[in-house]
Chain A
Amino acid sequence: GQQLNQSPQSMFIQEGEDVSMNCTSSSIFNTWLWYKQDPGEGPVLLIALYKAGELTSNGRLTAQFGITRKDSFLNISASIPSDVGIYFCAGRAWANNLFFGTGTRLTVIP
């Protein structure tokens, strides 16, 4: 199956700093998604990307669908304490199921 490499695995940042994380795939996806998981909760969709080259924002979050369709990044600007959690990228090829990255654990130090 498809392999997604997500980096970094974890980040410790100061409140107010910007964050960047990315995912690369061994194969092409038609959709890239970014999820956030809070402790004790399931993943919640943050941003969905449907076209190569697409750049989409959701508040302080910005994500891009790579031109090659094999990568995506997520940026968080001006981080705040509630940004703490695990961020997952996910890709969808031709089937309906999602392939997830291993997650980036974000810690924001006030």
Chain B
Amino acid sequence: EAGVTQFPSHSVIEKGQTVTLRCDPISGHDNLYWYRRVMGKEIKFLLHFVKESKQDESGMPNNRFLAERTGGTYSTLKVQPAELEDSGVYFCASTWGSSYNEQFFGPGTRLTVL
């Protein structure tokens, strides 16, 4: 069974540009999470989807970040316009059934904003 996949693996953009990250959770997992790790710091929660609904978006840094999960399958996270402090590794995770079950993480997208 395929794990959580994320695309792209790396993205280098200039300040002010737009970037869209994609996450494909494990098939059948209703819960999908986005996290971000800024260099050397902790992995921080961004938001949680249950199917296509946003359950908790308390970790989203500001309104330059927009997450969607149309149809309750894959999710996208768009950053527009990107700023230097948005650089980091963005992880996606998914769980089956109860959201208290183990979260399976994708390999992450490393975003560099120049």
Contacts and interface: CB of A to CB of B under 8 A. Distances in A.
Interface of A: 4, 6, 31, 35, 40-45, 48, 88, 90, 92, 95-103
A101 B4 contact: no
B21 interface: no
A41 B4 CA distance: 11
Nearest to A43: B105
A40 B44 contact: no
Contacts, number: 53
6 contacts: A42-B91, A42-B107, A43-B43, A48-B102, A97-B48, A100-B35
A94 to B, nearest CB: 11
Given A96-B56, A96-B99, A88 B45 contact: no
B34 to A, nearest CB: 10
B88 interface: no
Contacts of A101: 42
Contacts of A100: 35, 42-44
A103 B91 CA distance: 15
Interface of B: 4, 9, 31, 33, 35, 40-45, 48, 55-56, 59, 91, 93, 99-100, 102-103, 105-108
Contact of A41 (B42, B103, B107): B107
A97 B56 CA distance: 8
Contact of A97 (B33, B40, B102, B107): B33
Instruction: Name the 9 nearest CB pairs between A and B, nearest first.
Output: A42-B105, A100-B43, A96-B99, A97-B45, A100-B42, A102-B42, A43-B105, A42-B107, A42-B106
A96 B100 contact: yes
Contact of A40 (B33, B59, B100, B107): B107
A102 B45 contact: no
A6 B42 CA distance: 9
